[in-house]
Amino acid sequence: QSALTQPASVSGSPGQSITISCTGTSSDVGGYNYVSWYQQHPGKAPKLMIYEVSNRPSGVSNRFSGSKSGNTASLTISGLQAEDEADYYCSSYTSSSTPLYVFGTGTKVTVL
């Protein structure tokens, strides 16, 4: 099973909104509402930002939102801030036992 497809990089100016796409198949993204998004700053562990397509864990800013249409999920960051500059990975539960979780290729978000 291949990694989910994300754009390599997305950039925006402070205050703007950006959207990161995550494309999979009907065996993962399209088949389940189990898409999650992780933020990773350099040298740090990934941090959960969105789970089950559109839910935010406690403590995560409401500037982060998620959605899904068919086999493509999206993460939108509104009111972009300097601290949002990081790598972002989507992930999905899969219908296969291996891999149990498939991750996206990762997107570097740059705040201009």
Partner 1 sequence: EVQLVESGGGLVKPGGSLRLSCAASGFTFSSYSMNWVRQAPGKGLEWVSSISSSSSYIYYADSVKGRFTISRDNAKNSLYLQMNSLRAEDTAVYYCARAEGGSYLGYWGQGTLVTVSS
| Residue ranges binding partner 1 (CB under 8 A) | 3, 32, 34, 36, 38, 44-48, 51-52, 57, 89, 91, 93, 97-106
Alpha helices in the chain (DSSP H): none
Residue 36 contacts residue 90 (beta carbons within 8 Å):
yes
Closer residue to partner 1 in complex, CB, 15/57: 57
In the complex, minimum distance from the CB of residue 5 to partner 1, in angstroms, rounded to a whole number = 11
Residue 1 contacts residue 93 (beta carbons within 8 Å):
no
In the complex, minimum distance from the CB of residue 3 to partner 1, in angstroms, rounded to a whole number = 7
Closer residue to partner 1 in complex, CB, 37/71: 37
Closer residue to partner 1 in complex, CB, 16/44: 44
How far is 42 from 2, CA to CA, in rounded Å? Answer: 25
Asked if the peptide bond before residue 46 counts as cis, ω within 30 degrees of 0, the response is no
